[in-house]
A and B are shown apart, each in its own frame.
Chain A
């Protein structure tokens, strides 16, 4: 009797509460925010009040103390309505709060987590650099000790939540020396906004996630206190990679939500739109498409929740996380593509939400490890 697909009572209540919230609060403004490429502090505040930040952080540090499956459900429900808002929540939790929560000292946690969990501030995760994307170990940013300080030089690109009015700081990976095997020694640092020598610039002109905040970061002789090292010197790459394992669950949940949201729109439209004297869902070509979409979403959800369940039960989950990220992001692209097709010409118009899902889906195959990188991860896990 061990296998059990029931969600807990709390998870069910959470799903219906977040679903209603997303429908009432985010859906009405999502299209316009996307169009204007604008981050909304209003919806940010409402999401924070609902408790969407610090979902899996213990209440002692200001978090909500929920499990990872609950976090996946919350992210999925937001993504079902809008990708940009889901990005703010997902990056806020797993990339911003995550590393501080897992590797921060008690002092660092006390200093930052309560504010971040209350959603009064956002924290960025600076791994990607102009010359180090998929090759995340190829960081060129350096941190050199000098007396009681570290001096940082370099730059980061595409950093979510790192350049708006409530951005409080970033965790960055930098080179701190050479390891005995000749490879770069990488370490992570906490850099607060307002530190001299650190500038964060908002990036514009995105195809997708247009109302999520994305930043370029520049460090020019930026001095931070010695104690702003995260965890131990030399642990940086490991910290970043394991943060990404968790992050993959976030992106997977976003893919699942994006697919479900696009499917909802397609199904409703196909039941209403009449051609040749009947609703288009009555044509087998459309009906079979919808049947396949529903089946794939069901598959994606099972894989996604299993990966979360493994994590909640302290089992190894890296392989399933990569699989869930890969499957759910490709699902989002396929389903949103079919959904636009089912909408015909209307699906190409900004007036219809489905075009936003089509654009937002694309990021999911690129961010936090491209689909190619996920296949590398999985193939290594299975022993290739």
Chain B
């Protein structure tokens, strides 16, 4: 079974980011980049399926030339090869899905696994748009994936508001990973060494002949309003009266 899995290069989610003084974007000086955490979960799932079923896991990324690191991270976890579409341009969700569709058309994977969203833009759209463009079934926010014996279908448990939704999709399909799907493995030292020799096919976005002009553009970035410090109340009656009279929540 051939599985596609995406790894987006995002700013390290553990580091506090700052907005540029002119509001044109995020200040990137001294910032570390990592694989989008939801994508790591997708990679882990792809590798687990691969360890059982055999076949191939292909890591796909779109981004600057430096994104080979994020592709290589997927290879270090155990994927077999990588594809990087290089561009320094900003792509919106539609643009990203357009590029991925092209790669899928060329490579024809049996399953596409993605993070449910990237933690930088937090759009939560690419998987859905891609599935629609391809005319494939989609199962987003997966917390469990079981392949049918014939590998033609997948049963997916989706995390939805207030519970779980169980769906069965025909393959090929697009499945996006939620937080609880699995706990991604650490790239081991031998894994990292092996990844060094695995192939990454790099191509320029401009060479693909696609229209990726963004329809959604960022106008301005600003820091969220600073939260005011809370107050300490001496006792429970004061708390209750404040909740009643001032906050009016009781």
Contact = CB atoms under 8 A, between A and B. Distances in A.
Interface of A: 9-10, 12-14, 16-18, 20-21, 49-52, 55, 59, 64-66, 70, 74
B186 interface: yes
B189 A50 contact: yes
Given A16-B73, A17-B76, A17-B188, 9 more contacts: A9-B69, A9-B72, A10-B193, A13-B73, A13-B195, A14-B187, A17-B186, A50-B188, A51-B189
Interface of B: 32, 34, 68-69, 72-73, 76, 186-193, 195-196
B41 to A, nearest CB: 13
13 contacts: A9-B69, A10-B76, A10-B192, A13-B72, A13-B76, A13-B195, A14-B189, A14-B192, A16-B73, A17-B76, A17-B186, A17-B192, A64-B193
Contact of A16 (B34, B189, B196): B34
4 nearest CB pairs, A to B:
A51-B189, A64-B189, A17-B187, A51-B188
Contacts, number: 52
Contacts of A21: 186
Nearest to A8: B196
Nearest to A65: B193
Nearest to A17: B187
A52 B187 CA distance: 12
Contacts of B68: 9
B72 A64 contact: no
B221 to A, nearest CB: 23
Given A17-B76, A17-B192, A59-B193, A12 B69 contact: yes
Contacts of A12: 69
A290 to B, nearest CB: 16
Nearest to B69: A9
B69 A52 contact: no
B190 A13 contact: no
Nearest to A25: B186
Contacts of A64: 189-190, 193
B76 A51 contact: no
Contact of B196 (A10, A50, A74): A10
Given A10-B196, A17-B76, A74 B189 contact: yes
B188 A13 contact: no
B93 to A, nearest CB: 26
A315 to B, nearest CB: 23
Contacts of B72: 9-10, 13
B193 A55 contact: no
Nearest to A70: B189
A13 B192 contact: yes
Contacts of B32: 16
A17 B32 CA distance: 13
B69 A51 contact: no
Nearest to B77: A17
Contacts of B193: 10, 59, 64-66
Nearest to A12: B69
Contacts of B186: 17-18, 20-21, 50
B195 A49 contact: no
B249 to A, nearest CB: 27
Contact of B187 (A13, A55, A65): A13
Contacts of A10: 72, 76, 192-193, 195-196
B190 A51 contact: yes
A360 to B, nearest CB: 24
A381 B72 CA distance: 42
Contact of B188 (A9, A16, A49): A49
Nearest to B70: A13
Nearest to A52: B189
Nearest to A15: B32
Nearest to A71: B189
Contacts of B76: 10, 13, 17
Contacts of A50: 186, 188-189
Contacts of B195: 10, 13
Contacts of A52: 189
Nearest to B74: A13
A372 to B, nearest CB: 35
A65 B194 CA distance: 10
A17 B186 CA distance: 6
Contacts of A16: 32, 34, 73
B83 to A, nearest CB: 16
A49 B189 CA distance: 9
A201 to B, nearest CB: 33
A97 to B, nearest CB: 14
Nearest to A274: B229
B86 to A, nearest CB: 15
Nearest to B189: A51
A70 B72 CA distance: 16
Nearest to B72: A9
Interface centre among B72, B186, B188, B189 (most CB of A within 10 A): B189
Contacts of B187: 13-14, 17
A134 B72 CA distance: 45
B198 to A, nearest CB: 12
